Every structure is written in structure tokens, then in C-alpha cells.
Amino acid sequence: MKIEIWSDVACPWCYIGKRRFEAALAEFPHRDSVEIQWRSYQLDPSIPDHYDGTELDYLSKRKGMNPAQVSQMFEHVALQAKGEGLNYRFDDVVVANSFTAHRLIHLAAAHGKQDEAKELLLSGHFEHGKDIGNQEYLAKLGSDLGLPEAEIAELFSTDKYAEDVRGDIAEARMLGVTGVPFFVIDRKYGLSGAQPSEVFTQALTQAWQEANPLVAVGSPDAEACGPDGCAI
């Protein structure tokens, strides 16, 4: 079973959705047969590499949202995050363009470290006030993951993996994705948003059963018991 997850590093519900999905996957009996692929998505590609202002400023000024409404939203999302063991600190969030961070995730994927990169970037952005658009931060994160130094440096001197990121975003558009997180199971089922873990469990089970139906073996006439009694 293959699960593709479209997600943005700058999306608070994406981290919550990641945790809820992971909780369901941990209890899934066939989890060792599940392949996870993180796909890139940008909620706002127009953000500069470094935005001079807070997350509240960004949402209220650039998105036209009422500051009081934004603050209430932060409280609600932070409470939901806390329920998943996450410590969101919206006052410390550094607003930055996530494009290069997505390129780093693609580099990490080439070395089998995609999920680790995604986790560190989400945690850094929402829990530790890290600048996901900062070259030094991204380089150190890549180094901490054990990625080759030359390939990390190449991210900042070339546009490597840029087309991969754009391709993911274009594919999301083709699939009709308008918000993230968005989970696609075997290109048959789509789940939008940070669903409760039990919804992910239901989707995993249904998709697995459809892909792996039981095959009857032996004689259909063998003795058995049913609602009307047992065969004699």
C-alpha cells in the first residue's frame, strides 16, 4: 500500500495531521507493508524568503484576517496540537518561504531520510521558532540528518529538486487538492485535513481489504456450522 501526503512545512494542521496519521499507522497490523511518500505543497508561494513581521501580522495584513480572529485561531490550533503532544508557539513562528525547505525534503528522500526531515522542519517551525527559509538553518538540519555536505551545498548554489517541488504542486492541482494535509491511498482514496486517528484507521483498513481480498481455498462443501445449525 502506498500513501502520498501533500503537506506544507508552514501548515499547522499538517503537523497535527502527521501525528494523528502516525497514531493510526502504529496500530495498523500491516504497517510494515505501507510506503509513505511526502509530497510538496505551498499554501503561499508568494511569501518572501524572509518576511518582516510575526505570524499574526502576516495573516492579518497579507490575508486580510481580523487580528482578534487570528489570535483565537492560534489558541484553538495550539490546543489541538497539545492534544497530540505538540507544543506550538505561534508568537515565535518565523514567517518564511518554504520552497527551499521542500527541496531539502526531496534531497533527504533520496537518502531515505524524508520523514525525519519533515519531522524536524515542522517541529523547528512551530515549536522552536526556527527560520525555515534560512540557509544556515537548513544546512545544519541536513548535516544533522547525515546528508552529504556537497549535496546540501548544491541546494543553495543550484535549483536542484526545484522541478520536483513544482511537480508535486502541479500534481496536487491536477488531483483537485485545495488544502493540506491531503492523504492519498493507492490513488483510490483521498482524505483531506487532519482527520481523527480513527478515520485514518478506517481508511487504512478498507484500502487494505480491497487490495488484499480473502481467497477461498478447499472444498466449499466441507462440514461447517451456520445460523440454522451444523452439518450432519
What is the reported pTM? 0.91
Question: How far out from the chain centre does Cα 33 lie?
Answer: 19
**Residue 183 in this model has a pLDDT that exceeds 80:** yes
> What is the mean predicted confidence (pLDDT) over 223-231?
65
The C-alpha cell that represents 149 in the structure block: 555536505
- Tell whether 222 is covered by a domain: no
> What is the mean predicted confidence (pLDDT) over 186-193?
94
| CA distance linking residue 59 with residue 70, whole number of Å | 7
The C-alpha cell that represents 91 in the structure block: 508568537
The C-alpha cell that represents 94 in the structure block: 518565523
Query: For residue 179, which amino acid is it?
Result: G
What is the chain's mean pLDDT, rounded? Answer: 93
- Tell whether 220 is covered by a domain: no
Site of grid cell 461447517? 224
Per-residue model confidence (pLDDT) at position 64: 85
Window from 24-28, 125-129, 222-226 with minimum mean pLDDT: 222-226
* Domain range for 196: 2-211
Q: Which residues pair with 4 in a beta bridge?
A: 37, 184
> What is the mean predicted confidence (pLDDT) over 192-206?
96
**Residue 214 in this model has a pLDDT that exceeds 70:** no
Cα–Cα distances in Å, from 57 out to 42, 43, 107?
19, 16, 32
Q: What pLDDT band is residue 220 in, cutting at 50, 70 and 90?
A: low
- Tell whether 160 is covered by a domain: yes
Window from 56-70, 96-110, 119-133 with minimum mean pLDDT: 56-70
Question: What CATH number does the domain containing 36 carry?
Answer: 3.40.30.10
- Tell whether 177 is covered by a domain: yes
Site of grid cell 518565523? 94
- Tell whether 227 is covered by a domain: no
Of the two residues 230 and 73, the one the predictor is more confident about is 73
Q: What pLDDT band is residue 221 in, cutting at 50, 70 and 90?
A: low
Q: What is the pLDDT of residues 37-89, one digit of tens each?
A: 999 999 999 998 888 899 999 999 877 889 999 999 999 999 999 999 999 99
Backbone angles phi, psi at 124, to 5 degrees: -60, -40
> What is the mean predicted confidence (pLDDT) over 84-101?
97
- Tell whether 226 is covered by a domain: no
- The number of domains in the chain is 1
Q: How many residues does the chain have?
A: 232
DSSP code of 147?
Answer: -
| CA distance linking residue 102 with residue 117, whole number of Å | 9
- Tell whether 216 is covered by a domain: no
- Tell whether 169 is covered by a domain: yes
